[in-house]
């Protein structure tokens, strides 16, 4: 954590007890994904403690959320000596060798980042917060060979990770700004680019002009802010409201994903989604396209 939650700013919605959320919450959804039994969204669209942890397992999830919160908005009334252990749970395994990094950054509005652990070199997808405890854990998993930046919004502390591990940073040239002018590799055009036998960078312009998805093993698709699962509409979703570049382009990029095989959608914002098969994922994508195109 870079800061601390303030008890004096505790939200009135919080259930009485040790754990609380203060008024600096930015509603990024991170805590609700990590510890849904404890955190919920209020009518004011802020997270709050809906129920204090009922057992040790729920407390551990809640403290993981505390560590992952980008704005240090979650606190405990009494000193939480088990916070350090909760932080060591990141990167947390999602499936196979794909991990969720936690430790989100306010610079990317709490976007999720992921670590693919592979013998040919680990890949970090988007930048977690610059946090030495996470860096030490990633070091123990083999460090970072490549940092794939899906788009300009989620680059956060990319310089820290490059300096720490000497990783090659890859992003699309259309999203490069003064903040990322020093990245080692920029991709161009609209065609997918193989980064390795099992990795393909797929341009998906729409949310931004240079948005990229990363396809790993034809199973995992890291989507940045291009596509995510929405519990509200109960399907894959993209948003016209947060489309900064071109909605028609974003729909066209979504349509092109029908040519790919994958079973997982792993977004920066929004919920992850696993379909039982590539065919089922394709059907979900078609369902989303139908809804989004009307
Ligand atoms: S992780 Fe922090 S900022 Fe994000 S919704 Fe929870 S309390 Fe709010």
Asked whether the beta carbons of 214 and 221 are under 8 A apart, the reply is yes
The pTM of the full predicted model, rounded to 2 decimals, is 0.96
Q: Which of 2, 22, 29 to mutate to test the pocket of ligand 1 (most atoms within 8 A of CB)?
A: 29
Which ligand 1 atom sits closest to the C-alpha of 65? 1
Q: How far is CA 85 from the centre of its chain?
A: 21
List all residues 6 or more positions away from 253 whose beta carbon is below 8 Å from its beta carbon. Answer: 203, 204, 205, 206, 211, 226
Residues with CB under 6 A from ligand 1: 21, 25-31, 47, 69-71, 73-74, 110
Using alpha carbons only, give the angle 281, 283, 289 rounded to the nearest 5 degrees. 105
Which ligand 1 atom sits closest to the C-alpha of 26? 3
> Residue 76's CB: how many other CB atoms inside 10 A?
20
- pLDDT at position 294 is 83
Which ligand 1 atom sits closest to the C-alpha of 21? 7
Query: From ligand 1's centre to the CA of 217, what distance in Å?
Result: 32
Query: From ligand 1's centre to the CA of 25, what distance in Å?
Result: 5
Q: Whose CA is nearest to atom 8 of ligand 1?
A: 25
Instruction: Give the span between the Cα atoms of 201 and 193, in whole angstroms.
Output: 5
Instruction: Give the span between the Cα atoms of 89 and 74, in whole angstroms.
Output: 17
- pLDDT at position 154 is 87
Instruction: Give the span between the Cα atoms of 62 and 194, in whole angstroms.
Output: 39
Asked whether the beta carbons of 6 and 25 are under 8 A apart, the reply is no
Query: From ligand 1's centre to the CA of 109, what distance in Å?
Result: 10
Query: From ligand 1's centre to the CA of 4, what distance in Å?
Result: 13
> Residue 123's CB: how many other CB atoms inside 10 A?
25
Instruction: Give the span between the Cα atoms of 270 and 208, in whole angstroms.
Output: 17
- pLDDT at position 80 is 84
Three-state SS letters, the chain: CCCCCCHHHECCCCCCCCEEEECCCCCCCHHHHHCCCCEEECCCCCEEECCCCCCHHHHHHHHHHHHHCCCCCEEECCCCCCHHHHHCCCCEEEECCEEECCCCCHHHCCCCCEEECCCCCCEEECCCCCCHHHHHHHHHCCCCCEEECCCHHHCCCHHHHHHHHCCEEEEEHHHCCHHHCCCCEEECCCCCEEEECCEEEEECCCCCCCCEEEEECCCEEEEECCCEEECCCCEEECCCCCCCCCHHHHHHHHHHHHHCCCCEEEECCCECEECCCHHHHHHHHHHHHHHHCC
Q: Which of 26, 64, 104, 106 to mutate to test the pocket of ligand 1 (most atoms within 8 A of CB)?
A: 26
Q: Which of 1, 21, 24 to mutate to test the pocket of ligand 1 (most atoms within 8 A of CB)?
A: 21
Query: pLDDT tens digits, the chain, 294 residues: what are they?
Result: 457 999 999 999 999 999 999 999 999 999 999 999 999 999 999 999 999 999 999 999 999 999 999 999 999 999 888 899 999 999 999 999 999 999 999 999 999 999 999 999 999 999 999 999 999 999 999 999 999 999 999 899 999 999 999 999 999 999 999 999 999 999 999 999 999 999 999 999 999 999 999 999 999 999 999 999 999 999 999 999 999 999 999 999 999 999 999 999 999 999 999 999 999 999 999 999 999 998
């Amino acid at each position: 954590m870079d800061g601390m939650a303030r008890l004096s700013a505790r939200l009135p919605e919080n259930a009485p007890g040790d754990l609380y959320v203060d008024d600096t919450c930015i509603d990024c959804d991170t805590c609700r994904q990590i510890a849904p039994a404890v955190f919920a969204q209020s009518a004011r669209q802020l997270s709050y403690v809906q129920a204090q942890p009922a057992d040790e397992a729920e407390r551990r999830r809640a403290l993981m959320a505390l560590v992952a919160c980008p704005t240090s908005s979650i606190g405990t009334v009494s000193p939480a000596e088990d916070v350090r252990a909760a932080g060591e749970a990141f990167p947390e395994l999602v499936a196979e060798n794909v991990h969720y990094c936690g430790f989100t950054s306010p610079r990317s509005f709490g976007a999720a980042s992921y670590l693919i652990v592979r013998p040919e070199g680990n890949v970090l997808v988007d930048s977690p917060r610059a946090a030495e405890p996470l860096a030490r854990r990633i070091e123990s998993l083999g460090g970072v060979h490549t940092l794939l930046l899906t788009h300009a919004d989620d680059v956060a502390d990319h310089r820290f990770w490059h300096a720490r591990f000497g990783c090659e940073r890859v992003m699309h040239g259309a999203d490069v700004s003064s903040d990322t002018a020093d990245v080692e590799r920029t991709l161009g055009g609209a065609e997918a680019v193989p980064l390795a036998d099992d990795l393909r960078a797929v341009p998906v312009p729409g949310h931004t002009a240079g948005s990229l998805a990363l396809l790993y093993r034809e199973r995992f698709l890291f989507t940045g802010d291009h596509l995510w699962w929405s519990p509200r509409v109960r399907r894959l979703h993209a948003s016209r409201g947060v489309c900064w570049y071109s909605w028609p382009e974003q729909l066209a990029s979504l349509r092109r994903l029908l040519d790919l095989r994958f079973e997982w959608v792993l977004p920066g914002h929004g919920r992850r989604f696993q379909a039982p098969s590539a065919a089922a994922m394709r059907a979900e994508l078609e369902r989303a396209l139908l809804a989004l195109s009307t």
